[in-house]
Amino acid sequence: MDGRRPDSATVHAILVHGMGRTPVSMLLLAKRLRAAGITTHLFAYSAAFERWLPCVERLSKFITARVGDQRFIIIGHSLGCVLTRAVLPHLARAPELGVFLAPPTMASSYAIKLAQWRLFRLLTGEMGQLLARQDFMDSLPVPDIPLRVYAGIKGPRGSWMPFGDEPNDGILSVKEVQLGTIPVQLLPTIHTVIMNSRQVASDIVAAVNSRA
């Protein structure tokens, strides 16, 4: 990884974890970014106990309080990317870069299948139900900022598997990660650990340095 420190003032990175995870899942990525001189902030939420709009509002306040008028980027994983898309229009200043790790961009086939189960509804709350609604996913704005999108391709494949022979990360197919015409970078990893890819950290540091 390019370990050069950003050449300008402090750069902040807001990291937003995925559904069913905690900020702990983003610690390795945060550590690698801090080693390159980027200040990291881990946003915590609970899909099971928090409603959608209050969570978006809280994320907006979290970002504003931590970045002030300094440079910042946003990194989301899975549902964290959905939260990021929702919060961007509410920010007084846009981030200079968005990084989406395995973002669901359409109604997730997994969420649709599981939404009928009461246990899934209890564990994922309103947010989990929203991921199964195509009208909700279509309502999210496409970010008008430089964006890097990553998808894993090490999920199981075969005619008997949920995604058939489609490349997938075990939770989402690459097709479910595609956001408009934005290029998707494919990584040899699975959904739950995509944030630990060294390439992701290296790419983020290089992108921040290129904008210094």
Domain containing 196 — which CATH number? 3.40.50.1820
Please state the rounded mean pLDDT for residues 86-109.
93
Q: Has residue 95 been placed in a domain? A: yes
Residue 116's pLDDT is 64
Query: What are 25-33's contacts with CB under 8 Å, separation 24+?
Result: 25/77, 25/192, 25/195, 26/75, 26/77, 26/195, 28/195, 28/196, 29/75, 29/195, 29/196, 29/200, 29/201, 32/1, 32/198, 32/201, 32/205, 33/201, 33/204, 33/205
Residue 138's pLDDT is 93
* pLDDT at 162 exceeding the cut of 90: no
* pLDDT at 46 exceeding the cut of 80: yes
Residue 35's pLDDT is 97
Residue 49's pLDDT is 82
Q: Has residue 157 been placed in a domain? A: yes
* pLDDT at 19 exceeding the cut of 90: no
Q: Has residue 1 been placed in a domain? A: no
Please state the domain count of the chain: 1
Please state the rounded mean pLDDT for residues 65-71.
95
Q: Has residue 2 been placed in a domain? A: no
Reported pTM: 0.89
Q: Has residue 107 been placed in a domain? A: yes
Q: Has residue 6 been placed in a domain? A: no
Q: Has residue 155 been placed in a domain? A: yes
Q: Has residue 4 been placed in a domain? A: no
Lowest mean pLDDT among 62-71, 108-117, 148-157, 168-177: 108-117
Print the domain residue range for 189.
11-210
